[in-house]
Structure 1
Amino acid sequence: MIGALFPLVRPVLHGLDAERAHDLTLAALAMMPARAPAPDDPRLAVDLLGQHFPNPVGLAAGFDKGARAADALLGLGFGFVEVGGVVPRAQGGNPRPRVFRLARDRAVINRFGLNSEGLDVVAGRLERRGRRGIVGVNVGANKETADRLADYVACTARLAPLADFITVNVSSPNTPGLRDLQGEAFLDDLLARVVAARDRAAPATAILLKIAPDITLDALDAICATAVRRGVAALVVCNTTVARPAALAETALSAEAGGLSGRPLFGPATRLLAEAYLRVGGHLPLVGVGGIDSAEAAWTKIRAGASLLQLYSALVYEGPGLVARIKAGLVARMRAEGATGLSAIVGRDAAALARTA
């Protein structure tokens, strides 16, 4: 029903400031009663991270930063939802306007700056909702904190008992210095402390690591090795990019500072995903993010090495009906290839896509 209504309300939403439209959408979802989604085709199921995912299509962090509408979002048919990013102390983020639609490019630029209601508020909402469906939490550090590693530890200790996975976000481009934590020495210390905090609080909760697209292959080598050594359960590839492809049509808006997401990110994100798969495919599953706006894009991500998928920006243009269309398209592709599940498809084209995506 909601998906069918989106073409009617999209002109109204797109007539508003992008953040205002998002806030209204989230508020409407938060008022909806929880409902179970329609059953998925069994061929879409993925067993990973100690969980049984009914389908691989997840909602990326950033849409529901405060965990206000996780149940309603699951009801839209997502196989899992990641809320956040969450930081220990409430912070407002960067001044508005801070999010921009690049409509002709099917892209978004944001510079939110990890705006968050804070750890106590988000933890309270997760406690009240209980444990229905698969919900993870993306965690970060306050902009003005004196000890960023301690912020990640505090978030992990508090939220691990309330979530199915914790995603360590060291890749937001909108918090100064945060991406420096992807350096090998910092990352090793960070992951060691986060995993230890998880072990004390909720040993069964998986720890994921979300990386940036704007890294060299040497840096990827180090990140992958550190993640495997420290017991990370999966890599999330990848966050928004600070790069600006020359082919962007919305040239005026493309000059806005912030992270670019959506269709222009698909190529570089998929190449990085394939490169990561070639390095850790036998040891660490991958979550593919960046530019997924169709079943074909989702299929390509899986063949590049993704066991799970996440999307967000495409919803701005396609609406929630996109989730069902992607799932139907994946089933159709599996049927055409005689596949009984997605695991046999994962990484099949990684070597080729690493060279050409």
Structure 2
Amino acid sequence: FLDRIHFYLPGWEVDIIRGEMFSDGYGFVVDYLAEILRSLRNNDYSDQYDQHFNLVSDISTRDKDGINKTFSGLMKILFPHKEATKKEIEEVLQFAIEGRKRVKDQLMKIDSTYAAVRFAYTCNDGNKTIHVKSLEEEEYPQYFSSSPDEESDLDKDEQGSEQPQTPDAVIEKPPELKERQVIVKENQRGVTYDKLFGQYLQDAKKITVTDSYIRIFYQIRNLMEFLETVAKFKPKDDEVEVHLITVEDEFKGPQQIEFFIKIQENCAIAGVQFTWEFDETQTLHARHIVTDHGWKVLLDRGLDIFQHYEMNDSFSLSNRLQQYRSCKAFEITYLKVEG
């Protein structure tokens, strides 16, 4: 019975319904939407990924059927006009594979006679093989068996799945740093500024943060948490300059400046000299961190990487500790540049 389930939706990834999630615009009457979906059942969109990707031969017919039906259903809802880009098709395919893999993972825990399956697909333009893993497998790899065909430790590091096993703390002698890319999935947990930035900020004397979206309270709080990471990783007796380049908020500029002044006063106690400037050209879009000792960190979402959490709840772990927050999907690239 369980093996005939196509997709396992993890309830722990589904956010609590809040008032701001409801639309105040136009929508379909439920009866009309249901009729649209019923009519679309006759259409098969499972061939939409064939021109770009192929499932590996390890995947059984039943697994492939589950993946294809989930993929087809999502494509009919999201892209009924069949005009999805390759990247959008790949995202839907990965999601469908991940959901079917969860079914198999649970079956293997219940019945050891189920053989391990390599859930992966290949790209038609380069024959590259991409392995698909669930978030829980990436966050708790010790509870999942691995095969030699899966990614190496380096690949896992580039996918954002390999996290240090030691608590967040200042590392006396940092390992050799390297250029790399980290990709974090939607709703992934266990991600902190300490792990993302700490080692790349260590020993820097001047750090410049460029982010046009450090304006409202939660964004400025993100900045403060970034400065906490700077304070943790800098040598105890040294001072570090952190300069922010951002855009002044059109409506709450005075409050924004007030927050910056408070940050400046409080960080000075820890030896972090915080300054800021507003870009007057209104053309600032790039988001990155540059250090004076040769590193540039490209941030596609800036410091805004966390999903909504209750900032006013003093007893919430997600409020106090970043590793308990769900993340938005984002990518970070670490580049070595001239100092």
Same fold (TM over 0.5): no
Normalized against structure 2, the TM-score is what? 0.28
Normalized against structure 1, the TM-score is what? 0.27
